[in-house]
Amino acid sequence: MIGDFNDNANALWALQLKEANSHDQARIQSLKDDMDGVLIFAGLFSAALTSFLVDKIHNLQPDPAQQMVFYQQQNVALLAQISQQVSALAPQVSISSAPLPTYAFGLNPSDVRVNVFWFMSLVFSLSAALLATLVQQWVRDY
């Protein structure tokens, strides 16, 4: 029968349970220590990477000073067109016509590539930190 165990069998199972528990505890401690290291590295790496991103992300935006110059040139051109239309009513004033300026903001492809790679590495680093946290929670429940 299944319920009939002799003392030798109970001692054998107790020994096996003791060995399995010690092996499991060592494995859990190893996983916990590894995930602590991953979390520390991911946090430090993300902090350093963010400082580079904050500095370099400005290259993806137009320069405010250049934008202001463009808007001032556009205002001057619009005022010139208005003056030209008014001078059509009074022909004694002559103003040369000039086309409206266009603002050309171009992104440097290397800036775009660098920022894409830095954002990808930041996402991977934060994903590693999330996975390490999930593993730590699993180990805690185990």
pLDDT tens digit sequence for 92-117: 655 566 666 676 777 788 888 988 99
Q: Characterize 34-49 residue by residue with b for buried, 16 or more Cβ atoms within 10 angstroms of its Cβ, and e for exposed.
A: ebeebbeebeebbeeb
**Residue 99 shares a structural domain with residue 68:** yes
Count up the domains in the chain and report the number.
2
**Residue 56 shares a structural domain with residue 81:** no
pLDDT of 40 reads 93
**Residue 67 shares a structural domain with residue 132:** no
Q: How far apart are CA 43 and CA 47, in angstroms?
A: 6
Asked whether 108 and 61 are in contact (CB, 8 A), the reply is no
Please state the separation of Cα 15 from the chain's center in Å.
51
pLDDT at 134 over 80: yes
Between 140 and 132, name the one with better pLDDT. Answer: 132
Q: Is residue 10 assigned to a domain?
A: no
**Residue 126 shares a structural domain with residue 142:** yes
Structural domain that includes position 91: 63-104
* pTM greater than the 0.85 cutoff: no
Q: Is residue 73 assigned to a domain?
A: yes
Residue pLDDT, tens place only, 8-59:
668 888 888 899 999 989 998 888 899 999 999 999 999 999 888 888 887 7
Q: Is residue 36 assigned to a domain?
A: yes
Residue pLDDT, tens place only, 60-90:
777 788 788 888 888 888 888 887 777 777 6
**Residue 45 shares a structural domain with residue 28:** yes
Asked whether 107 and 124 are in contact (CB, 8 A), the reply is no
Between 121 and 10, name the one with better pLDDT. Answer: 121
Q: Is residue 6 assigned to a domain?
A: no
**Residue 53 shares a structural domain with residue 76:** no
Record the tokens describing residue 133, joined without a space: 């946290």
Q: Is residue 47 assigned to a domain?
A: yes
**Residue 69 shares a structural domain with residue 137:** no
